[in-house]
Amino acid sequence: MQATSFPDRGRPSDDVLAELAGKRTDDVRWRDGRTFGLVFDGGPSVHAVAEQAAVMYLHDNALNPFAFPSLVGIEQEVVGWTAELLHGPDTAAGFLTSGGTESIQCAVLAARERGRAERGIRNGEIVLAESAHAAFHKSAHMYDMPVRKVPVRADWTADVEAMAAAVTDQTVLVVGSAPQYPQGVVDDIPAIAELAATVGANCHVDACMGGFVLPFAERLGRDVPPWDFRVDGVHTISADIHKLGYAPKGVSVILHRTKESRSHQIFMFDGWLGGLYASPNLQGTRSGAPMAAAWAVMQHLGLEGYLRLTEVVLRNADTIRAAVAEIEGLRVLGQPSFHLLAIATDTDSADPIDVFALGDALKQRGWHHDRQNPPDSLHLTVSNTNTTAIDEYLADLRECAEHVRGIATTDRSTNYSGTS
């Protein structure tokens, strides 16, 4: 940690803000469309309405619904709109969270608590594929739940036969992804939900990346496999509004098929001197700013706006996949059809390109990718953010591929996230 000391005296606001702006010098240039992930830009008007709504509710606190009833209404409306989008039944219910990780933590907690209440299982097992998000493992660590992890198939989807062999009478949660993050393919959700039902477990669909893409892709005529509440046996779905829903960080939705299912994630306690304490997710204090911003963005865009943005995003992703296919020595892993893809070394090529050397060269030109493995690959979440930079990116991709051809890097590290 950098040595510092608490200021003795306050400073003029202009000086403070100028120094703060200077700290961003080395940050990724997402406003220029040069990062494939982390920040998702819906355009100037989306920025404006989100920022104004966030400022309006910047200091408001959803901890106490009696003090801020407007935030109760905002949350209910945003959750309701999302449930409608994902074909939730009339019984569907949910809450807003700070992001996909918290939504997943809530789903895991609900599955554990249901297992305790209905089946007498103290610390039930989670069955998932190795492609499932790390947040499930974080949740299992927090809640002391064993994880039974299975491989993926050759097409990178979860191996449902292996999952069937892994479930036991102690399984309380079976996980599918729509799509999974690393390669961007959609798991066989109907088969996973059916499997979960055979042992009385919850089925959770992680749609943190796809929840605000797949519904619009389907409306645009794309072939989208079944994945949402239209699939019998799906108990919970997580969907991030702050990704391709284009709200600012951090806001996600955790949806349950029923209020009874939702009740298993709620904490209520009155055994202290302060009276009844109730929280719907893992937070106590909940900022009103991201809730209000999400509400405003969804109202501002509407279905028409989301369809327009999704059409652009899918076209951009198609263009990038086609360009990669034309570069000898590179390939896209699997057959992703939507906004996620992973560029990897084509090991069958007579002239393979070290994809991490390629990533280093692109980074020098200001492009940011997540480096991931196994296998070594550069991950792209294509969004509207990248629209103005696609042509420049493809030109740099081709030039850098030729520049590093025959060059290998010893740095095989990944950079999805980290600590300081």
**Taking the model in full, what pTM does it have?**
0.96
- Return the pLDDT at 180: 98
- Return the pLDDT at 1: 57
* Domains of the chain, earliest start first: 50-299 (3.40.640.10), 303-404 (3.90.1150.10)
pLDDT per residue, tens digit, the chain (420 aa), is 566 789 999 999 999 999 999 999 988 888 899 999 999 999 999 999 999 999 999 999 999 999 999 999 999 999 999 999 999 999 999 999 999 999 999 999 999 999 999 999 999 999 999 999 999 999 999 999 999 999 999 999 999 999 999 999 999 999 999 999 999 999 999 999 999 999 999 999 999 999 999 999 999 999 999 999 999 999 999 999 999 999 999 999 999 999 999 999 999 999 999 999 999 999 999 999 999 999 999 999 999 999 999 999 999 999 999 999 999 999 999 999 999 999 999 999 999 999 999 999 999 999 999 999 999 999 999 999 899 999 999 999 999 999 999 999 998 988 776 655
- Return the pLDDT at 419: 55
Can you say whether residue 167 is alpha, beta or left, with left for phi > 0 and alpha for psi between -120 and 50 degrees? beta
